[in-house]
Amino acid sequence: MEPLADLPVSTLDIPAKTTVVVIGAGIAGLSAALTLIERGIPVCVLDKGRIGAEQSGRNLGWVRKTSRAPADVPLAQAADRLWVAMPARTGSDCGYRQAGILFVTRSRKQMAVYEDWLKAVAPLDLGARALSPSEIDHLVPGGTGGWTGGLHTASDGRAEPSMACAALARAVLAKGGQIVEHCAVRTLSTATGKVSGVVTERGEIACDQVILAAGLWSRRFLGNLGLFLPTLPLVCSVLRTAPMEGPCETAVGGPDFSFRKRLDGGFTITQRGRLDAPLTPDHLRLGLRYLPVLRTQKGAVQTGLGRHFLNELLSETRWREGRITPFERCRIMDPPVNAGLNAEALAALRKAWPVFENARTAAAWAGMIDVTPDSDPVIDSVARLPGLTVATGFSGHGFGTGPAAGQLAADLATGAVPLVDPAPYRFSRF
């Protein structure tokens, strides 16, 4: 996978008690923890593996408002402000650069989709606009893609995923929070109908509130509690190049590739038009909920029946408090890279911008994404279990909004005024 940044030394052991426990040391969980500790609220982050080791450290690093559902844009706007403030809050450069994001297409139908989105978000004053072929050539010179047009938002940006997670973790620890790695939470303990603590593989921690930010693992954790959250996995394969001269600082998404400049001088590249969908038993249970999305994105996913299906079939969906859980059996989800998709992306990119003929692949990795039926996250307190707040299901576009999603989860968990209207992210919509 993508090499982890220089991670801080985490807390050696669990506390007997705290005020808030955060399950998951990804971008949202760490952002929630930093918000809480800055407000003087004791917090302990627990992760079954390592800080930022799953999708929070494996994503493309895009920080975008472009093409989000209009109801999701305010969270992205709030995240922009938090990304700008990140160096001051953490004392580290997370690689955030507000260099813009551009989507390009050869399809008039897709341009109509972009125009409809621009109309829908016009009241939000994003500064996004449609670009002509000549404007694309000016913004990203040297292209031979024959584009019909594009959609550009200059205020979008990029950041370095593993660096951001490491910076947030260092800040949480420096300000008095706790982070315990290699410590899976098995279940919650309750008293008088509400959360009273968490049961970990090392023992129990008493607490008042729990924020579940466990990404791919949230559905299984909630299922053991009798709570239903529909998510299915997708796998995105990614490559990074060695440092090279590229066409621009702007991140660009085409029909079958995307690229963005890295802080190390290379580029992160993926096949934007296709993702792997490893079949699981959950596809039989949840498949009908995803039919509307599949109809609109036909050909964007390629299904396969492999080892992941068997692993999921044999993995427990319910367990008792003292039993070893699936979270301990798989500390870090590290799916295999689809080298074919990476090769497709690089070939398509070289046709569109020949400068990438000079690209040399330095590393490749894959990450597993948890996708909800409407591709929007769940950030909400769970009415059926007071004391539990969920921040999960980010569907492949949660890194950019992660700082705001974490703050919103912290707001909801502690009764603070919410950063944005949480209604679009309610748990009960499924």
Q: What is the DSSP string of 56-90?
A: HHHS--EE--TT--GGGHHHHHHHHHHHHHHHHHH
Paired tokens of 205 = 């921690």
Tokens of 401: 């909004």
Q: Which tokens go with 6?
A: 């220089």
pLDDT of residue 315: 82
The β-bridge relationship of strands 232-241 and 251-253 is unpaired
Structure tokens at 30: 């760490």
Neighbours of 429 (CB within 10 A): 13
Cα–Cα distances in angstroms (integers) from residue 227 to residues 12, 210, 318, 326, 327, in the given order: 31, 15, 12, 17, 18
pLDDT of residue 300: 77
User: What is the rounded distance in angstroms from the CA atom of residue 199 to the CA atom of residue 205?
Assistant: 7
The pLDDT tens digits along the chain (430 residues) read 565 678 889 999 999 999 999 999 999 999 999 999 999 999 999 999 999 999 999 999 999 999 999 999 999 999 999 999 999 999 999 999 999 999 999 999 999 999 999 999 999 999 999 999 999 999 999 999 999 999 999 999 999 999 999 999 999 999 999 999 999 999 999 999 999 999 999 999 999 999 999 999 999 999 999 999 999 999 999 999 999 999 999 999 999 999 999 999 999 999 999 999 888 988 889 988 988 877 777 677 778 777 887 788 778 888 987 889 999 999 999 999 999 999 999 999 999 999 999 999 999 999 999 999 999 999 999 999 999 999 999 999 999 999 999 999 999 999 999 999 999 999 999 9
CA distance 72 to 349: 29
CA–CA distance, 400 with 160 (Å, rounded to integer): 10
Q: Let me know how long the chain is.
A: 430
